[in-house]
Structure 1
Amino acid sequence: MMNIVNMGQKLFRASLLLAFSAALAGCDGTAPAPDASPPLEGARIGGPFTLTDQNGRSVKDSDFTGQYRLIYFGYSFCPDICPVDLQKLMRGLARFEKDAPERGARVQPLFITIDPARDTPEALRAFVSRYHPRLLGLTGTPEQIAQAAKAYVVVYNKVEGSAPDRYLMAHTQIAFLMDPEGKPLAMLPVDDPTTDGDEGAPEKVAAELAKWVK
């Protein structure tokens, strides 16, 4: 079963990376020139959403105006991919916060579920608390989730399991950094083959944040 899910994730990721290959040509982990443009500048990624956070509060994309946003789509019942990615991302954010506290405080991390049937606010509260104290877990109706995923070019589908409640979700494995106006800046390296294992990934995430968060 996991081979099918992993294959689906790789196909989704490959198609997305091909779509952005030209835009990402300059995203190589080095410091940008003073007038360098973000690799995703002008890309049609992001848009309005209304969701519910892990505390049951209604949350809109406009609530984060003035903040950078680190956005990852996944689900709390994911057996391995999502927990590993979130660990890399949140450890990278923590390093950036330590090196640049004022700029780090301007980054709001968001985890948006693609499995609203199981990811209730209560389930997300327990899940996101493992990774970062400021990580918001967002859920909603299937329609609200579908709208948000479409805006962020995230593809997902259900993979049936051995029982009705034991299904998996294949989904695009990618993390976006958005600017204070909600425009896309860069993709963060959660699955970078050049990264030196899991230990090197947080450093690359922190370095990418340092490039674009002002």
Structure 2
Amino acid sequence: MKRRLRRPAAVAIAALSTAAVSGCAVFSPVQTAVPYEPSDGFSTTVGDVVVRNVLVVSEGDGAPGVLSATLVNEGTEDVEVTVDTGSGSDTSITVPTGVAYVLGAGSGAGPTTTPEAGAVETTAPTAVEISSVDAVAGELVPVTFEADGASVDLEVPVLLPRHEYTTLTPAPAPTDTGTATGTSTATSTATTTS
């Protein structure tokens, strides 16, 4: 009689221990099922356009900056996207369908690529400069994206132009070379006459 009870008892113990071990997944969700931002910037969707990795690169606290982002048009028609950084002028961009439109400046924003089968074409970077960023690195600044009659306000981080963002800097301000500086330089010109 003992032998008869051993087999069902072993099966019952195996079933209970399997249920106990696999029950951990009930209280601990699978990490890949939890949405998160895998980069420094933030993402959103406005109309048919997915806006990815939005951030501002600047020394901050009144210094100029550059908006960095990638716009992907998942619709069937070209979409005009308006970007408002709060600097006083909006930037309008036509994003063709199936294209990843890169906002930024310099080589760090992303190269132009040739699409492969099923790949998304990437454009050369377009600069969206901000004349004055009123936040220090690490703080958030508001940026508004408008497309297809929809508008999304997004708070995006300000990052220093370091490491991979070194090339994402505003164009240098024009300098006035016609102004006297208070120093004089003597020059001489030699002419030869025959």
TM more than 0.5: no
Looking at secondary structure, tell me which structure has more helix per residue: 1
Structure showing greater relative contact order (alpha-carbon pairs closer than 8 Å, 6 or more residues apart): 1
Work out which of the two has the higher radius of gyration on C-alpha atoms and give 1 or 2: 2
Looking at secondary structure, tell me which structure has more strand per residue: 2
> Which TM-score tier does this pair reach, normalised by the shorter chain?
under 0.3
- TM-score of the aligned structures, taking structure 1 as reference length: 0.26
